[in-house]
Amino acid sequence: MTLAIFDIDGTLVRGSTERRFWRYLVARGRQGPRQILAHALFLLRFLPTYGIDVARKNKAYLRNLEAADVRALAEAFVATEILPRLFAPALQRLQQHRRRGDTVVLLSGTLEPIAQALADAVGAHNVCATVCSQRDGRYLASPPEVHPFGRAKLHLAVQLAAELGYDLSHAAAYGDSRHDLHLLQAVGEPVAVLPDPSLAAAAVANDWEVIADDGAQQRAVPR
């Protein structure tokens, strides 16, 4: 048995789950002047802190929404909007890991309620995703408490592997973006899924497996 770590956006799911979820919230009347203003103010306030990554850190559109309501909406959203958009080759690989008895983890910068609902649907064992600040059961317009992105993704993976009793250097990891490079370089079985140009170049240079848009693989799949 080993540890298998899957990114979500661009890897298990085509595109951004969180952008789709925002539109889902708009359609259900969960976005109004408070959320729009909070989102804009976050960008202005935290641009000096986060620079070009400020938009990724900005979860202020959740301001004052009830966490329980968002979680229920996320479950319905995943069932209706995300499961039909899963990237079949990546899902098949996840299922292969499960059949081998591996521990499957979803590690993603998307919102934790979305990641958890997806994990429940596909049978992943653990989730590490973006955790937003709350007070009295409602979301705040603050930076996220946990945000798996870039180097932070690697740090969280190291911590999670230790907690689960695995050696990260023997783990498998699946990602689609240059932002996943830190993690992919640290594992024993890196796999680039629908990679962006930077990750594709790194995969070629390092002879990593690539799962292409047509599902073709450049190296053998796990047995």
- Please name the residues in contact with 36: beta carbons below 8 A apart, sequence gap of 6 or more: 61
Q: Which residues pair with 25 in a beta bridge?
A: none
* pTM for the predicted model, two decimal places: 0.93
pLDDT at 46: 97
Burial class for 49, CB neighbours closer than 10 Å (0-12, 13-18, 19+): exposed
The DSSP code for 219 is S
Quickly list DSSP for 106-168: EEEEEEHHHHHHHHHHHT-SEEEEEB--EETTEE-SS--SB---THHHHHHHHHHHHHHT--G
pLDDT tens column, 74-92: 999 999 999 999 999 999 9
Q: Tell me which CATH homologous superfamily contains domain 3-211.
A: HAD superfamily/HAD-like (3.40.50.1000)
- 128-132: long-range contacts (C-beta < 8 A, 24 or more apart)? 128/156, 128/157, 128/160, 129/8, 130/59, 132/59, 132/62
What tens digit of pLDDT does each residue of 100-117 get? Answer: 999 999 999 999 999 999
* pLDDT, position 88: 96
22: left (phi over 0), alpha (psi -120 to 50) or beta: alpha
Cα 60 from Cα 38, distance rounded (Å): 6
Q: Give residue-wise pLDDT tens across range 140-197.
A: 999 999 999 999 999 999 999 999 999 999 999 999 999 999 999 999 999 999 999 9
| Spans of all domains in the chain | 3-211
pLDDT at 223: 34
Sheet strands (E) in the chain: 3-6, 103-111, 126-130, 134-135, 138-139, 172-175, 189-193, 209-211
